[in-house]
């Protein structure tokens, strides 16, 4: 590498370039997201990557890890406090209210694909810039059929990525009537244990007790096993709603695991909370200990943003994570590599005619590679090999005068001179 005038050429910590050779995975993921969105009738929405920081602080919760530790917040020159979006839902709801989308048919089904930013400690499946494909069903009423349909759409999407051994974890975290009852029970349970808990959990006891349930710290695990179950504290409406969701899932034959510790890391959720995992194992034996997707119901978020609607449910898939699973479990994308021809010119007369000739071939639907800047045959053949081309079209001085061209099979070296007017057919005949 040449000596750079810039000292550090690394992309920022936890943020990665997506190189040309990786794009086929991303194309596949985007294609399947579009397919599912279309199938279930979700319309695309794109919001700004920057939001006023307050949008997230108020909705995700001031005491959540994301807001407290992970947001990239800065002041613009004009003094606005802006944040790189750490997730999509708050922005979508902000946009829904700002643009009066509640006037469109309800519920409104929206989807998005794009980068999110969280200042986390990078590790496998955890980045500072990552991409989500998210689906939201906003408005209408809080019918459990929407929770089930949303979960189904995400399940079908993961299935289309050919990810095996999927497991759906689900819980209900109640509403503002029943959650305080549970919070009290939980605090009663933990009260005497406080000195034995990690520092974060001692803080959670004061600020956000539900989050005690998803502490990953080893010293806290043993106490989690016997915590009271939130499902035992649900009010009758939440209970009915959760039963409704589970019945729809059963009807769909979508198996699930009740996960009493699943509370999700964002304050805007109520009732349904879910996450998808895979028990597949990478070829090198490592397990994937991260959620591929997560979501839930967020009725209060609509209210917080002043919407006339008061129902929302959604979920998002982590694109880097699904791609990691697809790659490491050697999922076959089923992409047939396209057959390619490489155009080679020799001499000035041929070079002059080459641009328009290549254009004609492309118009006829033939994918053509070339390196027109190179003049020697050997250099152009080397490029053709590098590109793994199947055929070379060799257009030399003689061919240019005779209106012909050589079609050479680069795998076996067999070649034939054909009239220029027939070259499209000749190439198509060779493509299987
Ligand atoms: P979340 O669980 O924070 O939910 O993120 C959703 C998914 O994004 C996760 O399951 C994971 O696959 C991926 N993800 C999260 N953080 C990272 C990271 N640091 N690196 C790589 N991937 C990551 C939400 O963001 C909610 N907005 C989902 C939602 C939509 N709820 C309702 N609607």
Mind listing the pLDDT tens digit for each residue in 22-77?
999 999 999 999 999 999 999 999 999 999 999 999 999 988 889 989 999 999 99
208 lies in a domain?
no
60 lies in a domain?
yes
**Total tally of structural domains belonging to the chain:** 2
Range of the domain at 358: 341-431
The verdict on 142 and 54 lying in the same domain is: yes
Which CATH number do you get for residue 155? 3.30.930.10
Task: Using only the alpha carbons of the chain, give its radius of gyration.
Answer: 28
- Compute the distance from residue 394 Cα to the ligand 1 centre, in Å: 52
Tens-level pLDDT at each residue, the chain (432 residues): 567 888 889 999 999 999 999 999 999 999 999 999 999 999 999 999 999 999 999 999 988 889 989 999 999 999 999 999 999 999 999 999 999 998 888 899 999 999 999 999 999 999 999 999 999 999 989 999 999 999 999 999 999 999 999 999 999 999 999 999 999 999 999 999 989 999 889 988 988 899 899 888 888 988 988 999 999 999 999 999 999 999 999 999 999 999 999 999 899 999 999 999 999 999 899 899 999 999 999 999 999 999 887 899 999 999 999 999 999 998 888 766 678 899 999 999 999 999 999 999 999 989 899 988 888 999 999 999 998 899 999 999 999 999 999 999 999 999 999 999 999 999 999 887
Q: CB within 6 Å of ligand 1 — which residues?
A: 87-89, 118, 120, 125-127, 130, 132, 134, 136, 265, 291-296, 298, 314-316, 318, 320-321
The protein residue with its alpha carbon nearest to ligand 1, atom 23, reads: 318
The verdict on 299 and 422 lying in the same domain is: no
Backbone angles phi, psi at 171, to 5 degrees: -155, 165
9 lies in a domain?
no
The verdict on 288 and 350 lying in the same domain is: no
Residue 333, helix vs strand vs coil: coil
How many Å separate Cα 61 from the centre of its chain? 23
185 lies in a domain?
no
Burial 240-268 (b: 16+ CB within 10 A, else e): ebbebbbebbeeeebebeebbbbbbbbbb
The verdict on 393 and 287 lying in the same domain is: no
Does residue 275 contact residue 169 with C-beta atoms inside 8 Å?
yes
Distance CA 296, CA 259 (A): 14
The verdict on 158 and 249 lying in the same domain is: yes
Last residue of a domain, one of 328, 361, 381: 328
Which CATH number do you get for residue 377? 3.40.50.800
Q: Measured from the CA of 275, which atom of ligand 1 is nearest? A: 10
Q: Residues near 318 by Cβ (< 8 Å), separated by ≥ 6? A: 125, 130, 131, 132, 290, 291, 292, 293
Nearest to 127 by CA among 18, 31, 23: 18
> How distant, in Å, are the alpha carbons of 65, 66, 72, 232 from that of 69?
5, 6, 9, 32
- Compute the distance from residue 311 Cα to the ligand 1 centre, in Å: 20
The protein residue with its alpha carbon nearest to ligand 1, atom 16, reads: 126
Q: Report the relative pairing of strands 312-318 and 341-345 from DSSP bridges.
A: unpaired
> How distant, in Å, are the alpha carbons of 26, 295, 303, 316, 393 from that of 271?
33, 11, 15, 17, 64
The verdict on 317 and 411 lying in the same domain is: no
The verdict on 66 and 91 lying in the same domain is: yes
215 lies in a domain?
no
Distance CA 47, CA 85 (A): 10
Last residue of a domain, one of 304, 328, 352: 328
24 lies in a domain?
yes
147 lies in a domain?
yes
Burial 171-185 (b: 16+ CB within 10 A, else e): bbbbbeebbeebbeb
The verdict on 166 and 264 lying in the same domain is: yes
- Sign for the CA dihedral angle at 383, 385, 389, 393 comes to positive
The verdict on 353 and 246 lying in the same domain is: no
- Give the pTM: 0.90
The protein residue with its alpha carbon nearest to ligand 1, atom 10, reads: 293
The verdict on 122 and 262 lying in the same domain is: yes
Nearest to 200 by CA among 182, 186, 187, 214: 214
- Secondary structure element (H or E) that encloses residue 399, with its range: helix 397-402
- Give per-residue pLDDT as tens, 123-181: 999 999 999 999 999 998 999 999 999 999 999 999 999 999 999 999 999 999 999 99
Q: What is the pLDDT of residue 2?
A: 66
- Give the residue, out of 290, 294, 297, 311, with the most ligand 1 atoms within 8 A of its beta carbon, to mutate for a pocket test: 294
- Give the residue, out of 12, 72, 269, 316, with the most ligand 1 atoms within 8 A of its beta carbon, to mutate for a pocket test: 316
The verdict on 296 and 346 lying in the same domain is: no
Q: Measured from the CA of 314, which atom of ligand 1 is nearest? A: 33
The verdict on 317 and 370 lying in the same domain is: no
Can you list the alpha helix ranges (DSSP code H) found in 101-143?
A: none
Distance CA 431, CA 257 (A): 50
Distance CA 343, CA 333 (A): 29
Count the Cβ atoms, other than its own, within 10 Å of residue 191: 9
Distance CA 147, CA 268 (A): 15
- Compute the distance from residue 87 Cα to the ligand 1 centre, in Å: 7
64 lies in a domain?
yes
**Strands lying side by side in the sheet with 50-52:** 50-52, 81-84, 73-75
Kindly state the tokens that stand for 181: 């009852």
Last residue of a domain, one of 298, 328, 358: 328
């Amino acid at each position: 590498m040449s000596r750079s005038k810039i000292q550090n050429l690394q992309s920022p910590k936890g943020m990665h370039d997506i190189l040309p050779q990786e794009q086929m995975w991303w194309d596949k993921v985007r294609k399947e997201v579009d397919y599912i969105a279309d199938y279930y009738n979700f319309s695309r929405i794109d919001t700004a990557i920057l939001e006023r920081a307050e949008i997230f602080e108020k909705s995700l919760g001031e005491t959540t890890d994301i807001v407290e530790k992970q947001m990239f917040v800065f002041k613009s020159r004009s003094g606005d406090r802006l944040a790189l979006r750490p997730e999509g839902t708050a922005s979508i709801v902000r946009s829904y209210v700002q643009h009066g989308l509640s006037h469109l048919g309800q519920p409104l089904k929206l989807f998005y694909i794009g980068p999110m930013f969280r200042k986390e400690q990078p590790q496998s499946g955890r980045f500072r810039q990552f991409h989500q494909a998210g689906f939201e069903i906003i408005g209408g009423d809080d019918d459990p059929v929407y929770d089930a349909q949303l979960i189904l759409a995400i399940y079908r999407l993961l299935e289309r990525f050919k990810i095996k051994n999927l497991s759906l974890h689900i819980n209900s975290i109640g509403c503002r009537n029943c959650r305080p009852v549970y919070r009290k029970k939980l605090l009663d349970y933990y009260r005497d244990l406080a000195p034995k808990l990690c520092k974060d959990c001692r803080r959670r006891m004061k600020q956000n007790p539900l989050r005690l349930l998803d502490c990953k710290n080893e010293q806290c695990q043993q106490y989690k096993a016997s915590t009271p179950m939130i499902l035992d504290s649900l009010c009758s409406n939440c209970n009915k709603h959760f039963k409704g969701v589970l019945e729809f899932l059963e009807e769909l034959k979508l198996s699930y695991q009740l996960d009493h510790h699943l509370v999700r890391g964002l304050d805007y959720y109520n009732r349904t909370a879910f996450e998808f995992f895979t028990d597949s194992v990478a070829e090198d034996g490592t397990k994937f200990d991260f959620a591929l997707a997560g979501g839930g119901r967020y009725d209060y978020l609509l209210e917080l943003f002043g919407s006339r609607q008061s129902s929302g449910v959604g979920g998002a898939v982590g694109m880097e994570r699904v791609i990691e699973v697809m790659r490491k479990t050697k999922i076959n994308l089923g992409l047939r590599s396209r057959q390619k021809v490489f155009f080679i010119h020799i001499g000035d007369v041929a070079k002059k005619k080459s641009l328009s000739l290549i254009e004609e071939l492309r118009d006829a639907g033939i994918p053509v590679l070339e390196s027109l800047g190179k003049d020697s045959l050997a250099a152009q053949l080397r490029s053709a090999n590098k590109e793994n081309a199947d055929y070379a079209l060799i257009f030399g001085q003689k061919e240019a005068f005779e209106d012909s061209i050589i079609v050479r099979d680069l795998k076996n070296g067999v070649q034939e001179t054909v009239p220029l007017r027939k070259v499209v057919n000749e190439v198509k005949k060779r493509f299987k």
